Structure 1
Amino acid sequence: MATTDTEQTTLKPQECELGEVVWDKGKSLPGVVMGHLGGDRVQLRAVNGGREWDARSLRPLTARERLSLHLAARNEASRQGL
């Protein structure tokens, strides 16, 4: 099986900035970095809110994933009349 760029790219938790959106490889979900726990974990929260979780295995979002999140937010704002 061929590997993709997303499988090869890994972020260290200490490299993540607060407020940055990253991909949690363990849960296969995007999350917003809410805090750092030690040097080996970050706390993430779903982009649309919710409970935080701890994550160790991270990667940057692809351009397609960033676009998808942006469009989902715009569609939600449109539904709410904003």
Structure 2
Amino acid sequence: MPAKNGPPNGQEPPRPPAPGTLMVDAAHGDRVGEFRGVAGPYWSLRPVGGGAEWEADPARVRPADPIERLRAELGRANARSRGELL
């Protein structure tokens, strides 16, 4: 029997969000990142406060809720005030 390329159990893969959407990666301790794009079977997320992108399994990623978005944006604003972000 030939191997199938696709999600297990015949499920459709999640649809990628719009670039810039804040997402939570459950596989990385509920880390919040900005969606940057698709890299093969993974989604690329970038820390809101800056830093290196990481690849996330789309099945373990969900949209950030309002309080998570607020915390991420506040962290970004604080980093800018300290001169850490341009």
TM-score by length of 1: 0.66
List 4+ stretches of structure 1 deviating above 6 A: none
Aligned match of 2:52: 51
Give yes or no for the alignment of 1:65 onto 2:74. no
CA deviation vs aligned residue, 1:7-65 (integer Å, no higher than 9, x gap): xxxx92x3322121100110020011112023x32011111111111101101111111
Selected match of 2:36 from 24, 31, 34: 34
Task: Indicate the SS of the match to 1:68.
Answer: helix
Using the alignment, how far apart are the partners of 2:81 and 2:53 within structure 1? 26
Q: Sequence identity of aligned pairs in percent?
A: 32
Using the alignment, how far apart are the partners of 1:61 and 1:51 within structure 2? 19
Give the letter for the 1:66 counterpart: R
CA-based RMSD of the aligned residues comes to 2.0
Q: Which runs of 5+ in 1 are unaligned?
A: 1-10
Give the letter for the 2:39 counterpart: L
